[in-house]
Structure 1
Amino acid sequence: MSTRTPLDVFLSDQALAEAREQAKIPGTLAIAITPAAPGTQCSWCDCDIALNETEHRCKGCPNPAAVIMHQFRHGSPVRVDVPLCTGCHPDAARFVLALAQAGGTR
């Protein structure tokens, strides 16, 4: 990925600001997706593990990240940034959607 242009930075800043604003609504989990900086590694766990493996420590997917999924939650000042490669992005989006639908983001 090449260096980000001023327009790229502007659009990313606008997306982040809008997601932050949407997260002010009670019960909301707002997501913004922006381009990843060059050299960023995907951090999504693509390990094939059983649910009872509580001691598992994943190092993340070894592929370079293409995007960053920024998560804003109502009532939390913390923004969660998850670097994702093109292969892990769909899985991460499905996971976050399922978590939100199950009420796990409160």
Structure 2
Amino acid sequence: MKRCLANLLENAIFYGQRADVTLEDDPSRLTITIRDHGPGIPEGQRERVFSPFVRLEPSRSRNTGGSGLGLGIARHIARALGGDIGLDNHPEGGLRVNVTLPRPRNITGL
């Protein structure tokens, strides 16, 4: 989970200059929302960015971004934990990344 959140926060800071993080906790799930203040991602590209080696920033320079694996790795981790990651643009600008994880069920009789 540490790698998942690190990838998401690194992207938010790199592409959006800063990250606002909120946590919503309820009995069935935990939702972590990371909002950046960058350009966002066009709706038609939001699923594509989870594919390996996909980068929307066209430069191949290491100084302008990574290899295009971070979001895919983050989603893989979230899904391995029974959750998922979704993307949407904030109405005031920037990208929102929502990480949703299920709460463990209470197991009695053990």
Q: Shared fold by TM > 0.5?
A: no
| Higher RCO, 1 vs 2 (CA within 8 Å, ≥6 residues apart) | 2
Between Structure 1 and Structure 2, the one with more strand by share is 2
Which TM bucket (shorter chain)? under 0.3
Q: Normalized against structure 2, the TM-score is what?
A: 0.25
